[in-house]
Structure 1
């Protein structure tokens, strides 16, 4: 795509309507559209509903969001329907900074842009002592997480992995993390965003008969892990070959197994 398409409540965005989204308070979901479909559509819509209730004290109509999403893709054209990255933002045009807790009606901004692709190779990540505000919500307060990623890049790594104040590994900058101990997939337990792709992968692995365990994981536990991987909407199974001084094998068979499980998830047809 030559440039992103942006619509708010089903109409083309203008300077005036975009300016209403400037207060840094809101939430969003991101999805990858391929051949007119997306995986986990119901989970994306549920995420938007739940976060709207929590942040704004109001209700969001998922059926209307779906109509606007389909319309935006049609307006973006066949190239976008074939492959694009879609972000759905929810914000309050009349956001009251003096009384942010008052129930507020919300607006829906949909951006359709070029598709995001998973890293072509394995990554090395740096552990960072950091915890996002309200980590269970995919909100627009992203300064901190991108600052942590920037620091990791400056230190020679590819990305940042967050460790909370209790010493528990939680999540990556914009991805979830999983481990392989040689017998099962280990999902770290901590306050984090339960990503849509992570949710789908868990269900798919269960259907494939792959043993999984959710438990607290600390840096000191990494010596017992054989492999590590990242997981988000751009793809699952990207090998993490290093977390600080800990090294992991790049297990091609594990990567293929994770990707096959994820790809077994049914695609929800949008258009």
Structure 2
């Protein structure tokens, strides 16, 4: 765990627990390459401007990621880049900010993630288009779903339309094409890359739980796990092996990664 390229101190990271204001992105790094690296950097720049009103130097961010990876000493890791200002607290949150770059790493799983069983729940994240660190509501909903025997939670808007999974996007398969929910949500990097790769067979529609019986399959997308099968949402289940699902996995694997 490093902040601005040096080992982070307790005083520097306590703002994440006590103030909890900032944003982040997580990426799978394999041999110092990342799929969608430019998109990750664009997200950090955009969200930094939105939350702090300042520009972010992405060359500096990449330098800090490389330094942390060198310290981690692994060829395949998940790196999380968190942008926040350790000097801000609850009383000074309106002050001019000097955001710091916190890089944390963890080993990436070597095995494919198992299919997800989702429980639908009514919830909408604050500022859905921003990958912010305010995860209490999402994690509370995930915990509730897991306590009920599910793996994760699928969010429904107040009008009943589907938006996203707690920390992933969801897509559906129908008639040989991909259907994304039409909603306000965080457009993930993996989702964006896949959308670009299969644009001619993609539609976006407002979807409710009543539409799921007409789908041939479902999948989740996330930078750490790629394309992951969804086995069910509540009582609606799908086969976890599907021709298009396998094609999506192959397409994602073939997307050229960018060097840090």
Match of 2:143 in 1: 150
> Aligned pair in 2 of structure 1 residues 149, 230: CA closer, same or farther (>3 Å)?
same
Match of 1:195 in 2: 188
Q: Is the Cα–Cα contact under 8 Å of residues 216 and 238 in structure 2 kept in the other structure?
A: yes
Q: Which moved more, 1:164-173 or 1:249-258?
A: 249-258
| C-alpha RMSD of matched pairs (Å) | 1.6
Q: Is the Cα–Cα contact under 8 Å of residues 118 and 235 in structure 1 kept in the other structure?
A: no
Q: Is the Cα–Cα contact under 8 Å of residues 25 and 44 in structure 2 kept in the other structure?
A: yes
In structure 1, the gaps of 5 or more residues are 1-5
> Aligned pair in 2 of structure 1 residues 191, 117: CA closer, same or farther (>3 Å)?
farther
Q: Is the Cα–Cα contact under 8 Å of residues 179 and 186 in structure 1 kept in the other structure?
A: yes
Q: Is the Cα–Cα contact under 8 Å of residues 177 and 230 in structure 1 kept in the other structure?
A: yes
Match of 2:4 in 1: 9
Q: Is the Cα–Cα contact under 8 Å of residues 113 and 225 in structure 2 kept in the other structure?
A: no
Q: Is the Cα–Cα contact under 8 Å of residues 13 and 86 in structure 2 kept in the other structure?
A: no
Output the TM-score relative to the length of structure 2: 0.94
Q: Is the Cα–Cα contact under 8 Å of residues 204 and 264 in structure 1 kept in the other structure?
A: no
Q: Select which of 154, 161, 164 maps to 1:168.
A: 161
Q: Any idea what the Cα deviations from partners look like across 1:82-139, whole Å, max 9, x if unmatched?
A: 1111000001122153453444111110012211467533221110111111111111
- What is the correspondence of 1:118-129 to structure 2 with a 5 Å cutoff? 120-129=113-122
Kindly indicate whether residue 135 of structure 2 is the aligned counterpart of residue 139 of structure 1.
Answer: no
Match of 2:34 in 1: 38
Output the TM-score relative to the length of structure 1: 0.90
Paired with 2:124 and 2:10, the residues of 1 have a C-alpha distance of: 34
Alpha-carbon distance, 1:218 to partner: 0.9
Q: Any idea what the Cα deviations from partners look like across 1:194-228, whole Å, max 9, x if unmatched?
A: 0011001111223xxx5100111111111211111
- What is the correspondence of 1:225-264 to structure 2 with a 5 Å cutoff? 225-264=215-254
Match of 1:3 in 2: none
SS in 1 for 2:197: helix
